[in-house]
Amino acid sequence: MRFDVVTIFPEYLAVLDVSLLGRARREGLVDVHVHDLRDFTFDRHRTVDDTPYGGGAGMVMKPEPWALALEHVAAQGPVSPAPAESSSAEPGDRPVLLVPTPSGERFTQRFARELAGREHVAIACGRYEGIDERVFGWAEELFEVRLVSLGDYVLNGGEVAALAMIEAVGRLVPGVVGNPASLVEESHEDGLLEYPVYTKPADWRGRAVPPVLLSGDHGKVAAWRRAQQEERTRERRPDLWAAYDSED
Ligand code: ADE
């Protein structure tokens, strides 16, 4: 699977060289390319922003460097871009373009799973007050465009969100996580938060491991873990609990 990230801070993405994902890249399981948006400008100052029409604070990212950068990225990918006028084009025919923004749809584990099945994912990291809105409509010719938010808070730009999404999706690519069973038991995979975990020693600073975990009774352990998942979800995430409870 291939990721292309467009940003004015390519060095932000350097951490993708380390840990599990770094190994996955070296093994060729996940291919990540980072592009500097300023390479798609032609003025002496490599300008990527301008003042907003209608006035207001801050600067807006100019559309043309984005169009040139995204055309370049679409041409790189393993998926050939569908022609604009093709009526038979399915969303799956085009690469995905993720645009991190606090005004996007929520990025979830379900969405990460969906993306892990795609061959080519591009990410457009905006800064300042955002990217000229026309870019998103224009980009539909080349990409399935999804505006995505990590959560209800504001980051300085899309780079941290891009890192989070690449990690969440990349680790679902077969072979990236050594033991695939560990993916199944995680928080959010079954709509519940994960159960608590413990390791040796059984007594640590006066705190004991729950005795059921030492019982050797797999059925009892499984039931206890399920109950813990439900209790935690009910207490910590009433929103998830309501969705889970209504599925029964
Ligand atoms: N860019 C700025 N804030 C963001 C957020 N909460 N999620 C995704 N991208 C962002």
Q: Does ligand 1 lie within 6 Å of residue 101's CB atom? A: yes
Ligand 1, atom 2: nearest CA belongs to which residue? Answer: 155
- Range of weakest confidence among 16-30, 89-103, 126-140: 89-103
pLDDT tens by residue, 171-187: 999 999 988 888 887 87
16 is in an annotated binding site: no
| 164 CA to centre of ligand 1 in angstroms | 11
Distance of CA 157 to the CA centre of its chain: 14
- The predicted structure's pLDDT at residue 165: 98
153 is in an annotated binding site: yes
Structure token pair of residue 171: 């680790």
| 147 CA to centre of ligand 1 in angstroms | 10
The span from the CA of 21 to the CA of 176, in Å, is: 7
Ligand 1, atom 10: nearest CA belongs to which residue? Answer: 101
pLDDT score of 84 more than 60: no
- The predicted structure's pLDDT at residue 180: 82
- Output DSSP code: residue 101: E
| 153 CA to centre of ligand 1 in angstroms | 7
ipTM over 0.95: yes
Q: How many CB atoms lie within 10 A of CB 6?
A: 26
pLDDT score of 155 more than 70: yes
Q: How confident is the model at residue 87 (pLDDT cuts 50, 70, 90)?
A: very low
Structure token pair of residue 184: 């199944």
Cα-flanking dihedrals φ and ψ of residue 90, to 5°? -95, 155
| 119 CA to centre of ligand 1 in angstroms | 24
Mean pLDDT of 129-150: 98
